């Protein structure tokens, strides 16, 4: 029986002082996308989101995101409005920590309670 040695080298972590290049997906206004903040989780695939235009909408988490991307309250998300019923929307993207900070610094999410 052969003995296999694990890789015991430690991975280098980036230092806290360096600024990394952040690629952030921005909303396409012509397709009806906008920023929103998760207010309340309703179970299954339903979620209530406060959108940037000040309207609270019931949103749906599509199947390709359902078990892969977990939502929590106060998360910043990108929603796409339904063209036939604009009071509802689909969640398209969920932003993570450094992306949210970049959006705040550059003034994209002003007016949202993050």
Beta bridge partners of 25: none
The answer, yes or no, to whether residue 105 has pLDDT greater than 70, is yes
More confident of the two residues 16 and 39:
39
CB 80 within 8 A of CB 93: no
Distances (CA, A) of 33 to 6, 109, 111: 47, 13, 16
**The predicted structure's pLDDT at residue 68:** 93
- Closest by CA position to 36, among listed 91, 105, 82: 91
Domain assignment present for 22: no
Domain assignment present for 82: yes
The CATH number assigned to the domain holding 55 equals 2.40.50.140
Q: What is the full DSSP assignment across the chain?
A: -PPPPP--PPPPPPPTTSPPP---PPP-GGGTEEEEEEEEEEETTEEEEEETTS-EEEEE--HHHHTTS---TT-EEEEEE-SS-TTEEEEEEE--HHHHHHHHHTTSSTTS--
Mean pLDDT for the stretch of residues 74-93: 96
Distance between CA atoms of residues 83 and 70, nearest Å: 26
Mean pLDDT score of the chain, rounded to an integer? Answer: 88
Q: Which domain holds residue 54?
A: 29-105
Number of domain units in the chain: 1
Domain assignment present for 21: no
Mean pLDDT for the stretch of residues 42-49: 94
Domain assignment present for 44: yes
More confident of the two residues 36 and 10:
36
Domain assignment present for 98: yes
Domain assignment present for 13: no
Domain assignment present for 101: yes
**The predicted structure's pLDDT at residue 10:** 63
Give 22's pLDDT tier (boundaries 50, 70, 90).
confident
Give 103's pLDDT tier (boundaries 50, 70, 90).
very high
Domain assignment present for 3: no
């Amino acid at each position: 029986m052969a003995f296999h040695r694990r890789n015991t080298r430690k991975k280098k972590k980036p230092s806290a002082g360096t600024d990394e290049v952040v690629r952030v997906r921005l909303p396409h206004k012509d397709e009806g996308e906008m920023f929103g903040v998760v207010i309340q989780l309703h179970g299954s695939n339903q979620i209530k989101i406060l959108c940037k235009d000040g309207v609270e909408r019931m949103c749906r988490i599509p199947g390709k995101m359902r078990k892969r991307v977990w939502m929590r309250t106060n998360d910043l998300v990108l929603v796409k409005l339904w063209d036939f019923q604009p009071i509802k929307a689909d969640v398209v993207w969920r932003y993570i920590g450094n992306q949210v900070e970049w959006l705040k610094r550059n003034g994209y999410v002003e007016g949202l309670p993050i």
